[in-house]
Structure 1
Amino acid sequence: MAAAQDTRRKSEDGLWETVKVIIQALLIAFFVRTFLYQPFNIPSASMYPTLKVGDYLFVSKLSYGYGRYSFNFSLGLFGNQIVSCCPFGFDGRIFFPAEPKRGDVAVFKLPSDTSIDYIKRVIGLPGDRIQMREGVLYINGEAVKKERIEDYSDPAESGLRAPVPQFMETLPNGVSYRVLDTEPLGEADNTQEYVVPPGHYFMMGDNRDNSQDSRYPRVGFVPIENFVGRADIIFFSISPDSSLFEVWQWPFDIRWNRFFMLI
């Protein structure tokens, strides 16, 4: 009898230890997800070739400090009066806020509908003058360096099967990235000159002719308070024609070479 009770007690202790480990793991995951890194997936081709449909990435919430849309709850921390009194806050952000840098790839809430997340590249800073002329980006009247490189082609990608003209663009601060030009002289290849207001940013997609960005009224200038965070790393990637639930197809559909790619 005593031996049976001892065995049962050990079994209960082992079960409780397992439960505690699971609870601790869930709490850690909740903390990381809420305060540090938020996972996002790419639903459109607007950031090709940098980001592909089916990419899953971590967005750093601490990169620009916490803002109104950093959490799924508010706690009343982001009213103008409270933020202005916070020694670590400015422009609607708190706890060691930092300004987005030119060239960052960032997730933000669409100004016209904050229920929608967008991901684009920071091109224009407050006070900048931004314009597109014949497909060339101009910042403050100076043409951004744009070099023709090899065509982009990926037979595995739906919608981008044919070779697409590809360029290397280099911003004034030295950040370089690839952009696509699917339509010479597309509808947004020639624009008015945009003057970025204080506290706002001009965002553009790398797939220039297939991106709804700050060139269009639906997006426009993005206020700093709408930023969720900076996209830092791709942690998983799968073909857009695949399903996450068809596990047996993963060895063939997963893009193994994109795992842990820095953005």
Structure 2
Amino acid sequence: MKKFFKNFLSFFFLLDTWRDVVIIIVLVFAIRTFVISPYRISGPSMCDTLNAYNNGACNHGEGEYIIVSKFMYFFREPERSDVIVFVNPNGHGESFIKRVIGLPGETVVLRGGFVYIENEAYPEGFKLDESAYLNEKNLGYTKAFSLETRFEVPAESYFVMGDNRVESLDSRAHFSSTFNIDGKATAFVPKESISGMAWIILWPFSEIKLIGEK
């Protein structure tokens, strides 16, 4: 009887432990799917906002770890200047990180090294002030990568660019034709391809801050 009772307690303890393990796994999965997720920056396209050395040089390799907020866009639409993480709509699983420049229904115009936005409120267009996030090497140097200088953003889609304009393959270049829908290269990011908004630089610890803060 004593042995039976001991075995019963061991089984109950093991069952309780496995229950806790399952709960933890489910919680981690839910948090990573719907709340926040880690992401590692690779390449120089968002320098100096992300992946910049202390001396201002751009890191061309693996760099910072950031936290991506997946719940933010449950409550609002992506806004201009948001830094977003998104996947390739062709299903290859490749992730990108860029800044939102053009919103659905707007026309993005590249002229004289600057960005102009045409929309319902400003049909003649306005010059986009990017001084808050572009450094002196990039401010005024937003060039088109082809003869295409006007981009009409479709509904439920976004025009995006990297902050390091001279080294970023983005909407201007149709992501170098690697970003496509049904095999056709596109300059625009469909809303359903957006994973979330880049929120916090988590590592290195010396760089911890909300993304967007100076």
TM-score over 0.5 for the pair: yes
1:59 match: secondary structure: strand
Q: 1:262 aligned to 2:210?
A: yes
Matched residue, 1:23: 22
What one-letter code is carried by the residue in structure 2 that aligns with 1:121? Answer: R
Q: Establish whether residue 181 from structure 1 lines up as the match of residue 165 from structure 2.
A: no
Please tell me the residue identity of whatever aligns with 1:27: V
SS in 1 for 2:198: strand
Match of 1:59 in 2: 68
Pair 1:41-2:40 in alignment? yes
Q: 1:105 aligns with which of 57, 80, 83?
A: 83
Q: Return the offset for 1:262.
A: 1.3
Structure 2 gaps of 5+ residues are 52-61, 119-124, 180-186
Q: Classify the secondary structure of the residue corresponding to 2:166.
A: helix
C-alpha change, 1:16 and 1:180, in structure 2 (3 Å) is farther
Is residue 200 from structure 1 mapped to residue 176 from structure 2 by the alignment? Answer: no
Q: Distance in 2 between matches of 1:137 and 1:60?
A: 27
Quote the residue 2:166 is aligned against: 209
| Local SS of the residue matching 1:54 | strand
- Any conservation in 1 of the 2:38–2:68 contact (CA below 8 Å)? yes
Which amino acid in structure 1 is aligned with residue 205 of structure 2?
Answer: W
Q: Deviations over 1:1-24 (max 9, x none)?
A: 96x998887777666655444333
Q: Which residue of 2 aligns with 1:144?
A: 128
Structure 1 residues 139 and 36: alpha-carbon distance in aligned structure 2, compared to 1, 3 A threshold? same
Could you tell me whether the CA contact under 8 Å between 1:37 and 1:60 is conserved in 2?
yes
Relative to structure 1, the CA distance from residue 186 to residue 178 in structure 2 (aligned partners, 3 Å threshold; closer, same or farther) is closer
Report the Cα distance in structure 2 between the residues aligned to 1:14 and 1:113, rounded to whole angstroms: 43
TM-score, scaled to structure 2: 0.70
Counterpart for residue 50 of structure 1: 49
**Cα shift readout 1:77-133 (whole Å, capped 9, x = no counterpart):** xxxxxxxxxxxxxxxxxxx6x321111111112345653211111110112221222
Conserved 8 A contact 1:138-1:144:
yes
Higher mean C-alpha displacement, 41-50 vs 135-144: 135-144
How many residues are paired up? 184
Indicate which of 196, 200, 205 corresponds to 1:229. 196
Q: CA deviation at 1:181?
A: 2.7
Aligned counterparts of 1:199 and 1:31: Cα–Cα separation in 2: 26
* CA distance in structure 2 between the aligned counterparts of 1:33 and 1:57, rounded to whole angstroms: 13
Residue type of the partner of 1:262? L
| Percent of pairs with identical residues | 38
1:178 alignment partner, SS class: coil
- How far off is 1:202 after superposition? 0.6
What is the RMSD of the two structures over their aligned residues, measured on CA atoms? 3.2
Distance 1:54 1:47 in 2: 11
User: Structure 2 CA distance, aligned partners of 1:35 and 1:62?
Assistant: 6
CA gap 1:226/1:213 in 2 versus in 1, 3 angstroms: same
Identify which range, 177-186 or 127-136, moves more after superposition. Answer: 177-186
